Amino acid sequence: MSEAMELKPRPTPAPDDPMAALVDALVDAYDREPVGQAGCAALPPREAIVAVVEDLRRVLFPGIYADESLPRASLRYHVGTWLCDLHRDLGRIVRLSIAHQAPERAAEEVRSEAARVAAGLLAALPDIRHALLEDAQAALDGDPAARNIEEIVLTYPGFEAITVYRLAHWLHRAGTPYVPRAMAEYAHGRTGIDIHPGATIGRRFFIDHGTGVVVGETTVIGDDVKVYQGVTLGALSVSRTFAGAKRHPTIEDRVVLYAGATVLGGETVIGRGAIIGGNVWLTQSVDAGVTVIETAPTLDFRQRGARA
């Protein structure tokens, strides 16, 4: 190696340098609270989780989420390659998540469990795709602006959020730490729709427009439910003492929740076929078939410049 190409050691701050004191303070803080640093079992990087989400969406709906030519003759080759890559990449992020949560477990045991979880999710993809096609059909049936299924899959933020939810929910039920929440927050950032992966959502779920929708962890939603933008299915309390309890409402089949509706509480049940109007605030149950609307406000119309 030539003298010009020799790697020079990085200079260390002098003891009386303010930067040295800052370095020491940070390293001491890492030692006191070892979160996300060298020496701890590493969490999977967010970018790796996002890449797996996008690859899963690609397998579910090939030719829509990636610019690629997929002739029928080579489709089996492409799908097989994607699944092999996904088994490796998904297994890695699951393995890192389990190892971080349970560092006392043997490495081979963790590796075996991660491989099993990855294989299980991949095996579930045909059923997840079928459920998503039902969701897309519900959007087509429920939105006169929709032209076809492909438009919904490609452009509807509600469908994107539901897609990621159904994948994350499978991993959540499998007991995978960290990854389902990271997946849900990725979808939240892209769509403005916040669905906790622990929520239970039935078939043919349609979120129209979607921005500002919140579905809490213990929410239970039945079949054929339609939700508009700004709907919150939340808890009456966010105290840590309620962790693990049923904190969020139950929405039975064929309910419609219009824009801005808020339904709170683990004992709150919205009965089958009920309609909850825009901006309604509910902390009590509603019987099946009942429509709840907010009393119209009194409006005061005045001409500009008119005296009160």
Residue 185 has φ and ψ, to the nearest 5°, of: -70, -30
Which tokens belong to 1?
A: 């190696």
Residue 29 lies in a domain: no
Residue 95 falls within a domain, yes or no?
A: yes
CATH of the domain at 68: 1.10.3130.10
Q: Are residues 67 and 142 in the same domain?
A: yes
Q: Which helix (H) or strand (E) holds 275?
A: strand 275-276
Q: What is the pLDDT of residues 2-44, one digit of tens each?
A: 555 555 565 565 667 889 889 888 888 877 776 655 556 789 9
CA gap 115, 11 in Å, rounded: 44
Side chain identity at 5, as an amino acid letter? Answer: M
Whether residue 18 lies inside any domain: the answer is no
Q: Which two tokens stand for residue 30?
A: 């890492």
Domain shared by 212 and 153, yes or no: no
Instruction: Establish if 120 belongs to a structural domain.
Output: yes
Query: Do 217 and 89 belong to one domain?
Result: no
Work out how many domains the chain is built from and give that number: 2
Q: Are residues 207 and 292 in the same domain?
A: yes
pLDDT at position 198: 98
Of 177, 192, 207, the last residue of a domain is 192
Scan for tokens 């006392």, then name that residue: 104
- The answer to the question of residue 184 being in a domain is yes
pLDDT given at position 11: 58
- Flag whether 138 is in a domain: yes
Residues 226 and 176 in one domain: no
Q: What local confidence, expressed as pLDDT, does residue 52 receive?
A: 98
- Indicate whether 122 belongs to any domain: yes
Residues 71, 52 share a domain: yes
Tell me what pLDDT residue 29 has. 83
Domain assignment of residue 233, given as a range = 199-308
Which residue stretches of the chain have pLDDT < 70?
Answer: 1-15, 34-40, 306-308
Assigned domain for 17 exists: no
Q: What is the pTM of this model?
A: 0.88
